[in-house]
Amino acid sequence: MVTPASVLLTVMAHPDDAELWAGGTIARHVHDGGAAIIAVPHRDAVRDAEAAAGASILGAGLYLMEQLSVSIVATMLREVRPDVLITHPASDIHPEHRQCAEAVLSALPDVVIATGHPKRAYHSDGYNNLDQEGHPLHLPTIIDVSAHWPAKISALRAHASQPIIDHFGPMAEALGRLHGRRINSAHAEAFRAVPILGQLPAAAGL
């Protein structure tokens, strides 16, 4: 059970990434009494509106960044001061996902020294659970999101300008079931802890 003060922040490259890789976890965190914020770069009026709609369905706030740079990410992290942070894998297949992860990882040390936040950080899943070399991503932290799966899918479908029905939706379902089988649940999302100043989180979950 999270405390009301617990803030979960996802920093992603595209407006539908948070829903795709962590939508169930975000919805579960909010349901358990925490706060959630989705941070993505500004795209255009359509995609920004879809990002706001998806975040609202999950119960999260939306933080639109002008671009993905170390300085802008650092400023955002100082403002939000999350307890838990989720971003893309540094070895993600998509180059913009890698750029996002690199910006976050570069910003973290100075921000954590200055603010003490985030307390814990995690990499999310990627396309078909593969890294850029075609190897399965190592994601040992599994979150049961079965009860919040409908909210995740509803939020994902808010991104109507994207190929959700034919592409991202089926992939989300396959990954949800894949990780769910690892903990004997219907649907789950998977993550890997990121060392912060040389320390890994002691918590079993997020």
Per the domain annotation, does 203 fall within a domain?
no
pLDDT tens string 30-69: 999 999 999 999 999 999 999 999 999 999 999 999 999 9
Reply yes or no on whether the pLDDT at 199 is more than 90. no
3-state DSSP call for residue 69?
Answer: coil
Separation of alpha carbons 21 and 54, rounded Å: 13
Q: Write down the pTM of the prediction.
A: 0.95
pLDDT tens string 86-123: 999 999 999 999 999 999 999 999 999 999 999 999 99
Per the domain annotation, does 163 fall within a domain?
yes
CATH code of 39's domain:
3.40.50.10320
Per the domain annotation, does 202 fall within a domain?
no
Reply yes or no on whether the pLDDT at 2 is more than 50. no
Per the domain annotation, does 20 fall within a domain?
yes
Name, in order, each residue with C-beta under 8 angstroms of 75's C-beta and a sequence gap of 6 or more. Answer: none
Binning pLDDT at 50, 70 and 90, where does residue 1 land? very low
Separation of alpha carbons 159 and 50, rounded Å: 5
Per the domain annotation, does 205 fall within a domain?
no
Name, in order, each residue with C-beta under 8 angstroms of 202's C-beta and a sequence gap of 6 or more. Answer: none
Q: How many domains does the chain have?
A: 1
Per the domain annotation, does 206 fall within a domain?
no
Domain, as residue range, for 150: 7-194
